[in-house]
Structure formats: structure tokens, C-alpha cells
Amino acid sequence: MFKLVFSFRFYTAIVIVFFNLSGCDFEQKVEKSAQETIIAQIGDKSISLNEFIRRAEYTIRPAYCRGENYIHKKIVLNSLIAEKLFAFEVADDSLLQNQEEFNDYLIGRQEQAMRQMYYFKEAHEKTTVDSSALKKAFAVAGRDYEISYLAFNNKKSAEEAAKTLVSPNSDLAATAEQLFGSPVVKQRKVSINPQENDNVIEALFSDNLNKGQIIGPVKVAKDNHIFMQIDGWIDHKVITEKTIQQRYADTKERLHTKKAMDAYEKHVGALMKNKKMEFSRPVFMKVAELVKPLYLRSIDEKKETFNARLWEGGAPDLKLDELGAEMDKLVEKPLFQVDGVTWTVGDFEKYMRKHPLVFRKRKLSEKTFASEFRLAIADMVRDYYITKDAYAKGYDKLPEVRRNVGMWKDNLYHLYYLNSLLKSSGKMAEYQANPLNVIEEDLNSIVEKLQKKYSGKIQIDTDSFESVNLSRIDLMAYQKNVPFPILVPHFPQITTYNRLDYGSKMGDDE
């Protein structure tokens, strides 16, 4: 049996979502208030101002509504309303409602949102930043350091080196020569950026450091530690009030997030205390060998599988049932035991529909796959217990969670209805090749009929809508290291209708 004690070094950026666009980083925080402005009410469904902005800005819009002008903005709103109308048309479809995989996908989306709000309320919201620590960190936030560093691949060696390096006149290169008989010290630049190791950032940018000063050992991976010596730095000063305020806010957010994540690790550590995981080695190794080719697929193959499943209306994630008879033989076999409960291969497969595996390393190899697979399962089980506690505390009932699930549900229902329309008209291939042609020839008229059908149930807050300004920037927003990384559904390409001549104005008595 493999034995695994849970580790709580979190690899998930839960509150902050990073978008890398032309070298610029954008941060979107979890909404702090459930009080949202509703810009469109469609029966019992609604579109909030925040949702409208996210759906327009955090995914790539088609060329016919990609601009900043008012006409394009109306097409965006009409498209999102039409998505809800399509969802109405299949709301009572028993085939869709009873599709287990579809429902598990939505539950998975809900539970991911619950875990994010759980972190926010249990840790992030309760965290404060010490003013003196903020002052020190702000003073060095503009530095680009030139450092020399010495790496060790185990903690014991790093601790031995520390005995030599703690003396005031220590030199990293001389110590390396003494320990290894060769100059193994390397140089690099370090600045504050999302790709940098968190522990390195904390070590270098929390207080003023002096040239020649040695810092360490700093843990940079499970077994890897480094010592860093300050060779020098360039300090990029901020001058204008706006840039000063921005750097101050960024520094405060960085310290706040680090402190909150540390608190969350302790919180989850207490939740998982004494829970040990034991794998059945023969079954685990057999499953690992079977699934390995699926996870080692090329990016193009994964995209092809994703797109195919999306058009089938199911959950676009890897499924173990692709493996056929060999996996069927293992379904009832015990894969692992945790907290006295045995998970069979079948249990694991079913839960994976709600929580696809998240690997700690982005690049997987044949050699290390089994160990990375085991860690991914452990992280999945950790999330299972976090989710269980979140349900017990009522996080599934939070308005933010319900709105998020509703957004994904309506999008998938609309895809299901769109899929049926395209199949019945024989235009599936044409739509996939050139959606605009099919929209103009077929879908616009269908959308207009639905606008008339549901007109009495549609209200639009035109004042709030007109206050929104959209950008022309193409980007795809994603969250790192979560089971479902896409932040919002793809933009619904179903209409180019550019008038708001249906429904009523929100607030009118009529």
C-alpha cells in the first residue's frame, strides 16, 4: 500500500485570477457583495451587471460585436438574453435533466464556486495587513534584484550549508567551492511578478536588504531549497499620485493574499488532521498505466476532444470510460482508503466528473506520471473534504454561488437547444465553419420569435446598461490550478440583432 499524509501547500490561486495579455497582468477579485445590479430580468432568470461585463470581456467576442460602440454593446446584451431564451425552450427536456454526466458537471461547477467562496470567507475576509509590514514591503516593491543563488535538492543539505552561511562575512561562491569543490553558484534577476515563486518574493520583498546579504534557505519546491546573495538592484521609483497609489494597492493585496493563504492552509490542515490516505498499489499502478496516454495527449488532441464533447452537450472533460473493457474490470476494485472509507475505481471515476484532476506540474512525463497522478488524486480528496465542510456551512446557498451555477446551466442548456436546431436543419457543419452565415440565414429569425414569445417576461435596466463601456481587447480568462479553469462560458454566437425593441424598461409600472 502507498501511504500518503496530506500536504497543505496550496497550488491554487483562488481569489486572484491572472490574465496574461501582452505582458500585462489583470486581477479580478471575488465579489465581496451579493448585492448586484440586475440589467436584464428574463422570467426567473437574470443577468447582472457584473455577469454582463464578465461575459463580454473575459472571453473572445465574435467580430460582429467586438467593438466599443453602442450597436455592438446591444448585440452583446441581446446575445446573452437570447441564451436565456434558448435555455427556456429546453427547460423541461427530461433527456437533458436526467443526463447524469451533465448534472455532475454542473455540480462540479457549483462545488468549485463553493470552495472559492469558502476560502474567501474563512480566510481572505478575516485577514488584515500589519501597517508596519506594509510600509517595509512598499519601500522595496519597485526593485529588480540581481542575485546569486545556490540550490540544494534536499532539506538536510540546505540546513548543513546554513551553518556556514550564517556568519556575517559569508560568501555564497566561496561556500559553494568549499562544499562542492566547484563554483556552482548561478545568477539571475528577480522582480515581483505572478510567475515568480511566492517564497522567493516574500524573502526578497518584505524588508530592506543590503548588498552582499545572504538569505535562506528558501523552499522553492517540495525538496528543493536555495540560498540567495544580493549582488545589487535597480529601484524603479513611482512619481505620480496614480502610480504611487497603484503600487501601494498592489503591495497591500500581495501581503493580504499571502497572509490569507497561510491562514487557509492552517484552517484546512485542521480540517484534514489525522486523515491518512492509503493506495492499493496493484490497482493504482494499473489505473495509472491505463490513464497515462490520455493525460499525455498532445494539446491539439485535447482540444479536439474538448470541442467534440462540447458539441455533444456533455461535460468537456477527460472520462475514464474512454478506456473501455480494461477499466471496466477495475470498477469495483479498491483504489485507495482515506479516513476509514474505501474508494473504488468506480467511486473515483464518478467523482472525477465533478472534480477533474488538477496536476501540480503542467508538463507531465512518462517517468514521473505515477507520482504526479497520486498527488493529483490526493488534492482531489482534500477538496472533497473542503467541499463537505462548505455544504455543512451552507455555502451552496450563497447568492454568488447560485448565480455562477445558473450562468453555466443556462449556457449549457442553450448549447443543447442550439445543437438540436443545427442538427434538424442540417447546418451543423456550416455553423462550425462559418457561424455568421447561419446566424443571419436562420438563427436571427428564431431569436426574434423568442423575443416576441417571452416579451412580457423581459425587463431591461437601460440606464445601467448604457453606463457600461466595453473594450475591444481579445482575451480568454482562466483560473490556474482548479478543476474547471475557464472563468466564464464562451460567448453565445446566436444573433446579430442590434435593437432593444422588445420587453419593457425595468421599473416601469406597465
Residue 19 vs residue 283, higher pLDDT: 283
Mean pLDDT of the chain: 87
Checking if the pLDDT of 36 tops 90, the result is no
196 domain-assigned: yes
**Across 375-396, average pLDDT:** 97
Distance CA 110, CA 400 (A): 10
What is the reported pLDDT for 312?
A: 42
What is the reported pLDDT for 4?
A: 55
250 domain-assigned: no
480 domain-assigned: no
**Across 413-428, average pLDDT:** 96
Checking if the pLDDT of 412 tops 90, the result is yes
Give the number of residues written for the chain.
510
Q: pLDDT per residue over 343-374, tens digit each?
A: 999 999 999 999 999 999 888 899 999 999 99
Distance CA 245, CA 36 (A): 27
What is the reported pLDDT for 26?
A: 32
What is the reported pLDDT for 12?
A: 39
Distance CA 429, CA 431 (A): 5
What is the reported pLDDT for 61?
A: 96
Checking if the pLDDT of 128 tops 70, the result is yes
185 domain-assigned: yes
**Across 160-177, average pLDDT:** 81
Tell me the pLDDT band of 14, cut-offs 50, 70 and 90.
Answer: very low
What is the reported pLDDT for 316?
A: 45
pTM value is 0.85
Residue 477 vs residue 373, higher pLDDT: 373
**Are 342 and 328 within 8 A, CB to CB?**
no
What is the reported pLDDT for 220?
A: 92
306 domain-assigned: no
Domain span holding position 161: 143-236
Which CATH number belongs to the domain containing residue 231 in this structure? 3.10.50
Tell me the pLDDT band of 23, cut-offs 50, 70 and 90.
Answer: very low
195 domain-assigned: yes
Q: Taking Cα atoms as reference points, which of 212, 194, 215, 214 lies closest to residue 203?
A: 215
Checking if the pLDDT of 510 tops 80, the result is no
402 domain-assigned: no
Residues 4-16: b if buried by 16+ CB within 10 A, e if exposed = bebbeebebbbbb
**Are 264 and 123 within 8 A, CB to CB?**
yes
Tell me the pLDDT band of 19, cut-offs 50, 70 and 90.
Answer: very low
Checking if the pLDDT of 338 tops 50, the result is yes
Residues whose CB is less than 8 angstroms from the CB of residue 121 and which lie 6 or more positions away in sequence, other chains included: 395
Distance CA 360, CA 12 (A): 9
What is the reported pLDDT for 318?
A: 53
Tracing cell 455533444 back to the chain, one arrives at 312
Distance CA 506, CA 472 (A): 28
Q: pLDDT per residue over 217-261, tens digit each?
A: 999 987 899 999 999 999 999 999 999 999 999 999 999 999 999
Q: In sequence order, what are the beta bridge partners of 24?
A: 21
What is the reported pLDDT for 302?
A: 55
Checking if the pLDDT of 320 tops 70, the result is no
Tracing cell 506594509 back to the chain, one arrives at 134
Number of domains observed in the structure of the chain: 1
What is the reported pLDDT for 8?
A: 45
**Are 63 and 496 within 8 A, CB to CB?**
no
Q: pLDDT per residue over 76-99, tens digit each?
A: 999 999 999 999 999 988 777 888
207 domain-assigned: yes
Please spell the DSSP secondary structure of 279-318, one letter per residue: E-HHHHHHHHHHHHHHHT--HHHHHHHHHHHHHHTS--S-
**Are 257 and 127 within 8 A, CB to CB?**
no
Bridge-based pairing state of the strands 341-344 and 458-460: unpaired
